Structure 1
Amino acid sequence: MKQIVSTDRAPAAIGPYAQAVATGGLLFTSGQLPIDPATGAFPEGIAAQTRQSLLNVKAILAEANVGMDRVIKTTVFLNDMNDFAAMNEVYATFFGEGGFPARSAVEVARLPKDALVEIEVIAMLG
């Protein structure tokens, strides 16, 4: 059985998908764009957009009573791989405790709403 996880502390889905789904002891988030849920806008620059994407992930995890230390896998989609180092600096501040999760980082041709970054995670429940 699956459970849909949703919170107003992260941006609402902009299509026919859930913010996250919990099943089999795991939580799978949809890719989180750097949309500020309070304003609906993107911050400027890769560092600020990475931070906002991860704050959105963190809010969804919190709704499921899961901390960032329970994240086991992330996928980072970058509009430009030249932003990798700047993204990495911010990313590291969210995953310092409990060890870093496994991760893939890929450059894509384009992201929704022309974002610079989108991040999805898989986390352990409980």
Structure 2
Amino acid sequence: MSKQIVQTDKAPAPIGPYNQAIRANGFLFVSGQVAIVPETGALETGTIQTETHQVMKNIQAILEEAKLDFSHIVKTTIFLSDMNLFASVNEIYGSYFTGAYPARETVAVKGLPKGVNVEISVIAVG
């Protein structure tokens, strides 16, 4: 198996023993992203919409470092602090895709890192 670390300073640095993404056998596995602004290290917590946009921008930066875009994503996982946030997150999330959407699951969990409301991980091909 061939395994390559994908890392960019345009997305938040990992806050634990993991990498932003790993490319292996034609797949890119992107670690869960939260709304940390990479330039400042601060959380974007204004509204659920701005929080979700920051998460998607972080994913986009990692995809771009791997020379991919949202059209390469085949699977996403969305973690929410409260399922009542689903419609707002879904609207922002959906605006980053055109055409064929990836497979996905969305779950509400008891807690997320740094007390955020949304975390998203993706798997892309390419």
Smaller-chain TM-score bracket: over 0.9
Find the residue that maps to 1:31 and give its secondary structure: strand
Letter in 1 for 2:120: I
Find the residue that maps to 1:123 and give its secondary structure: strand
Q: Percent identity?
A: 52
Query: Aligned Cα RMSD in Å?
Result: 0.7
Question: 5 Å matches for 1:100-111?
Answer: 100-111=101-112
Question: What's the CA shift for 1:38?
Answer: 1.2
Question: What's the CA shift for 1:104?
Answer: 0.5
> Residue 34 of structure 1 aligns with which residue?
35
Q: Distance in 1 between matches of 2:74 and 2:99?
A: 10
Q: Which runs of 5+ in 2 are unaligned?
A: none
Total equivalences in the alignment: 124
Find the residue that maps to 2:33 and give its secondary structure: coil
> Residue 113 of structure 1 aligns with which residue?
114
Q: Distance in 2 between matches of 1:101 and 1:52?
A: 20
Question: 5 Å matches for 1:68-79?
Answer: 68-79=70-81
> Residue 10 of structure 1 aligns with which residue?
11
Find the residue that maps to 2:42 and give its secondary structure: coil
Find the residue that maps to 2:5 and give its secondary structure: strand
> Residue 63 of structure 2 aligns with which residue?
61
Q: Deviations over 1:21-71 (max 9, x none)?
A: 000110000000110111212221211111101100010010000011110
Q: Distance in 2 between matches of 1:48 and 1:99?
A: 24
Q: Distance in 1 between matches of 2:99 and 2:7?
A: 25
Q: Distance in 1 between matches of 2:76 and 2:94?
A: 12
Question: What's the CA shift for 1:98?
Answer: 3.6
Find the residue that maps to 1:94 and give its secondary structure: coil
Find the residue that maps to 1:122 and give its secondary structure: strand
Runs of 4 or more above 6 Å deviation:
none
Question: What's the CA shift for 1:20?
Answer: 0.2
Question: What's the CA shift for 1:102?
Answer: 0.6
The worse-fitting range, judged by mean Cα deviation, of 37-46 and 54-63 is 37-46
Q: Which runs of 5+ in 1 are unaligned?
A: none
